[in-house]
Each structure stands twice: as C-alpha cells, then as structure tokens.
C-alpha cells in the first residue's frame, strides 16, 4: 500500500477479530514507533506491551464505562460520540494487543516554566503516530465490515495558514 493511501484509509477501529498478532509483526510496529523523533534524541519513553488476554482484561477493568448522552446525533461529531463512547472498554477487551506508552518526566508538567517539559510529551505522540501508520492491524484485526461514520473533512485549504496566523 502506498504511503498516501495508508494516510487516506486510516480509521479508528473499535471492533476486533479474535485473532493473535504475530510477534514479528508487533516488533516491526514497535520498532517503527521507536524511530520517532524526540527532543535531543533523549527518547524518554518506554512501552508496556500486553498480549496476554488475562492482562488485557485486567487492564480493561480500570476503564469506567462512559455513557454517551447524545440520543439523536445532529452532527458527525455527535454521531461518532454515540458510536465510540460505549466501546471504550470493550475495544480494549477485544484487542489482541495493548501498548501503553510512558514518558519519563523530570518534573510535573504543571511546574513547567518554559514549555521545554512538553517536548517529551510531544515526542510520545510522535512515537504513537509512527506505530499507527504501519499498523493497519490496529493492534488487532478489524472486523470485515467496520462501521464507517461520516468523516469531518480537514483540508489543506481550511486547516493550513500560509505565512500568517
């Protein structure tokens, strides 16, 4: 699959097949994440990768169900809330793998004086994105006909400002 096709077809999958992900596939995805840029190459992150179902189910117990109060969606965002909120716990329970990224802080973000403390936080997101791009298996294999809600289009024309704010 070509790079831009991967970008255009990326979706948040919330239902997974009951199917193991091969260790070498996971290692390639994790390796892609670890190649992400970080502030001064400090790479203050670590990953906890869960593949044992009992551990995944134990983790899911910490996720409190968050009911969606939207009864009749009026916008694409509300439509997404109605789909996603009830699945927050079950999508973890159904996944074949859960990766928990951590980054090591020198001090609490609330004590950051110059914004430098956010560098490791941002690097953790780059690590996650680097794993999502090659992971069309999305840490579990998507069911064959996943629900595809209406996407809110973000275009260069309406989201990028050129040479001004």
Question: How do the domains of the chain map onto residue ranges?
Answer: 3-159
Place of tokens 């009911």: 67
Place of tokens 């070509």: 2
**Pairwise CA distance, residues 27 & 22, whole Å:** 9
Q: Which residues of the chain are modeled with pLDDT < 70?
A: 1, 135-143, 145-165
Q: Which residues contact 105 (CB under 8 A, 6 or more apart)?
A: 44, 117, 120
Answer whether 40's CB lies under 8 Å from 120's CB.
no
Which pLDDT value is given to residue 87?
A: 84
Phi, psi of 35 (to 5 degrees): -90, 0
Which pLDDT value is given to residue 151?
A: 62
Which pLDDT value is given to residue 15?
A: 80
The answer to whether domain 3-159 has CATH 3.40.109.10 is yes
Which pLDDT value is given to residue 101?
A: 85
Burial (0-12, 13-18, 19+ Cβ within 10 Å), 47? middle
Which pLDDT value is given to residue 58?
A: 93
CA nearest to 20, candidates 131, 141, 135, 132 = 141
The encoded tokens of residue 124 equal: 């953790």
Q: Which residues of 100-131 are buried (b: 16+ CB within 10 A; e: fewer)?
A: ebebeeeeeeeeeeeeebebbeebbeebbebb
Which pLDDT value is given to residue 158?
A: 63
Q: DSSP per residue over 12-49, as a string?
A: ----B-S-PPPHHHHHHHHHHHHTS--GGG---EEEEE
């Amino acid at each position: 699959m070509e790079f831009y096709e991967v970008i255009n077809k990326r979706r948040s999958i919330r239902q997974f097949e009951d199917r193991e992900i091969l260790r070498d596939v996971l290692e390639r995805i994790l390796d892609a994440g670890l190649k992400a840029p970080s502030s001064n190459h400090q790479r203050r992150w670590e990953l906890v990768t869960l593949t044992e179902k009992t551990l995944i189910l134990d983790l899911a117990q910490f996720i409190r169900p968050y009911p969606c109060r939207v009864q009749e969606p009026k916008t694409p965002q509300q439509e997404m809330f109605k789909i996603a909120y009830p699945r927050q716990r079950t999508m973890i329970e159904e996944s074949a793998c859960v990766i928990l990224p951590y980054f090591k802080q020198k001090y609490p973000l609330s004590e950051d004086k110059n914004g430098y403390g956010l560098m490791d936080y941002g690097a953790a997101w780059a690590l996650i994105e680097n794993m999502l791009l090659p992971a069309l298996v999305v840490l579990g294999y998507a069911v064959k006909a996943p629900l595809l809600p209406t996407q809110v289009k973000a275009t260069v024309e309406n989201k990028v400002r050129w040479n001004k704010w």
